Amino acid sequence: MPKKESFLINRIKSIGFAFKGMLILIRTEASIKVQLFIAIVVTFAGFYFDISKSEWMAQLIMISIVMSMEGMNTAVEYIADFIHPEYHKKIGLIKDVAAGAVFIASIIAVIIAGIIYFPKIL
């Protein structure tokens, strides 16, 4: 059935575009680079301290939330700069709010890391 094939091909193409977007994020965004580095460090820490299954899940969920929020924050910045490259108070507000969303996830990630690793270190 040609219709089904084109649907599948389109899905595969979409995955390709998404993968390209992820590589662009990792290559160009300093914040994502830092977050990826922290994600790798805590992954090693997870193995070193032999954290439980639920601790792994909490850690992985927070890594994905922080990094995907950062990706969306970058997309908002791109849109803002495209729509209005010059200085504007509203653009500043839009970017600050988008960055604030990443900050919320980051605070919770640090708290969860504390809950997991503090008892193991002390």
Ligand X SMILES: Nc1ncnc2c1ncn2[C@@H]1O[C@H](COP(=O)(O)OP(=O)(O)OP(=O)(O)O)[C@@H](O)[C@H]1O
Interface ranges with ligand X (CB under 6 A): 31, 73-74, 77, 87-88, 91-92, 95-96, 99
**Could you tell me the smallest distance in angstroms from the CB atom of residue 85 to ligand X?**
7
Which of residues 35 and 117 has its CB atom nearest to ligand X in the complex?
35
Residue 51 or 98 having the CB closest to ligand X = 98
DSSP state of 51: -
Is the Cβ of residue 31 or residue 43 nearer to ligand X in the bound state?
31
Report d(CA 45, CA 42) in Å as an integer.
5
Structure tokens belonging to residue 68? 């995907």
CB of 37 to ligand X, least distance (A): 15
- Alpha carbons 45 and 80: distance in angstroms, whole number: 37
Q: Find, among 63, 78, 45, the residue nearest to 108 by Cα.
A: 63
